[in-house]
Amino acid sequence: MRIKEFIVVEGKDDTTAIKRAVDADTIETNGSAVNQATIEKIKRAQSTRGVIIFTDPDYPGEKIRKTVAASVPGCKHAFLTKEAALAKGDKGIGVEHASPDAIREALKDAQLMQETLMEEITQEDLLDAGLIGGSGAKERRSRLGELLKIGYTNGKQLHKRLMMFQIGKQEFAEALAVVLQEENHE
């Protein structure tokens, strides 16, 4: 599978994992302190072939994602679940630990975040759905992010991420119904 866009990753091990899964070119940020030279390289890549940001599902990965997205508008975003990014023996989390199938699936589902945010789902909707605060909220958010292919978020990030990906009430309700149904069958 050939990926036209450049894939922004954190380091060499991520590049190795990507190349095991797909035929693609990567740009490595070499950590969360993304320098201006790297930003300029990503801007150039975005203007020629497009960019997919594919960082680890952890705090430093989210920091890199936000830094690059703020500096380079129009990037697509690919997400891995924490489970897919866990190392064997629980020795770390990252793109480099994901299987080639998980990487291909995440790249296939890469989405463009919208610049203009439209609110269809409110904070109150999230509270009513049991996605913010209370017992099991973290697990429900994790599964919802998986189903909607928007990655894991904390309570504060979920509302913004739903708006960024323009998730409508219908799509949200369908995914939430699956989450709640699975929860009731446990």
pLDDT tens, 86-142?
A: 877 667 889 999 999 999 999 988 876 655 556 788 889 999 999 998 899 999 999
Residues 99 and 154 in one domain: no
Query: Which of 112, 138, 167 corresponds to the end of one domain?
Result: 112
Query: Residue 1 falls within a domain, yes or no?
Result: no
* Same domain for 97 and 12: yes
Considering its fold, how many domains does the chain have in total?
2
Q: Is 144 found in the same domain as 99?
A: no
- Give the residue numbers spanning the domain of 38: 6-112
User: Is residue 154 situated within a structural domain?
Assistant: yes
End-to-end Cα spacing for the chain: 37
CA distance linking residue 82 with residue 178, whole number of Å: 19
Side chain identity, residue 166: Q
Sign of CA dihedral 102, 98, 7, 59: positive
Predicted pLDDT of residue 115: 56
